[in-house]
Amino acid sequence: MNQSSVNSRRRALLLAAATLPLVMPDAHSAPAGLITRPIPRSGERIPAIGLGTYSTFDVPARDLPGTELRDTLRRFVELGGSAVDSSPMYGHAEAAVGTLATALNLRPSLFLATKVWTNGRAEGIRQMEESARLLQTKTIDLMQVHNLLDLKTHLPVLRDWKKSGRIRYLGITHYTAGSHAELEKLVRSGDFDFVQFNYSLDEPEAEARLLPACADSGTATLINRPFSQAGLFSKVRGKPLPPWCADFDCGSWAQFFLKWIISHPAVTCAIPGTRLVRHIEDNMAACTGRLPDAAVRKKMAAYFTSI
């Protein structure tokens, strides 16, 4: 495929993402004005802000009543949230999500993503079956090979599980910029519905090649580390938002960071983690209103660098 054809395909994919109607085919409807993005391989739409569970949902069942997690997950869905990302390596997170989703009758409203993170076919199957048990679901919406561990072994199983309906989408993940070259190569193979990786104002490396590869191949993206593990907040602590943030309906630094991410046309969904209701409300506000255009995104990046 020549460069002209690649560029034409990229423009067509991005135009489709921008122009499809804001309608979700899931069991719950998105609130009016919520920013959603299509999964390129199916056209199914999910909100552009999701919920990560690393550390924040690592709570044993006996301790859940002493946390805000029940109200946090409920509020997330009330505000239109859908995608919840977890992993066996996140301690009690899968079990916490499953317990709360069942207690609140939220499973029909959730897009549940988790991961396989082990070596060997038999152990991978055992781990994925355990994830489904802990999440209390017969079908996992997205199963991802975590950090590409034993990918060649797990991929045929994931394909079989997708055909049989045990999972709906398959993907791969990593969390370091050093993995982007390998992720790009895999994305361009066309084998994956989703790819998850790090991308933020502090870690923008994915813009160079990985995000364009996702646009070219029609691969959905989940963005981890959107706050660079809270590092972005450390840099802006005590500093006011610039007044021009009102031009794209941005009312907090969290919204500043998230709107910068989800305004990239190849981003499907960013997954900040939190255990607090007030953070969910702040994060989900980034999924409403206007988004910065390309020129404003550059202005935002330059401003952040100058702080």
Integer CA distances (angstroms), 216 to 78, 185, 205, in order? 34, 12, 17
CATH code: domain of residue 78: 3.20.20.100
The residue range of the domain holding 190 is 44-230+237-306
- Domain assignment present for residue 6? The answer is no
Query: If pLDDT is split at 50, 70 and 90, which confidence band does 218 have?
Result: very high
Amino acid (one-letter) located at 252:
S
Residue-level pLDDT at 41:
97
The model's pTM is 0.90
Instruction: Tell me the pLDDT tens digit for each residue of 145-158.
Output: 999 999 999 999 99
Best CA proximity match to 46, nearest among 128, 115, 112, 145: 112
Q: Assess if residue 1 is contained within a domain.
A: no
Alpha carbon of 98 to those of 14, 50, 70, 95, 290: distances in Å? 34, 16, 11, 5, 33
- Are the beta carbons of 261 and 254 closer than 8 angstroms? no
pLDDT-derived band at 20 (thresholds 50, 70, 90) equals very low
Q: How many CB atoms lie within 10 A of CB 289?
A: 14
Positions of E strands within 117-198:
140-145, 167-173, 194-198
How much is the pLDDT for 230?
Answer: 87
Whole-angstrom distance, CA of residue 107 vs CA of residue 103: 10
Does residue 113 lie in a domain region? yes
CB atoms within 10 A of CB 181: 11
Average pLDDT of the residues of the chain: 92
Residue 80 inside a domain? The answer is yes
Q: What percent of the chain has pLDDT over 70?
A: 90
| Residue labelled with tokens 């907090």 | 252
pLDDT at 16: 41
Q: Is residue 149 part of a domain?
A: yes
Residue 10 lies in a domain: no
In a domain, 294, yes or no: yes
Question: Would you say residue 26 lies in a domain?
Answer: no
Please give the pLDDT value at position 29. 58
User: What is the tally of structural domains in the chain?
Assistant: 1
- CA geometry: angle 174, 176, 179, nearest 5 deg: 70
Amino acid at the residue 251:
G
**Which whole number is the average pLDDT over 180-196?**
98
pLDDT in tens, 21-75: 333 334 455 677 999 999 999 999 999 999 999 999 999 999 999 999 999 999 9
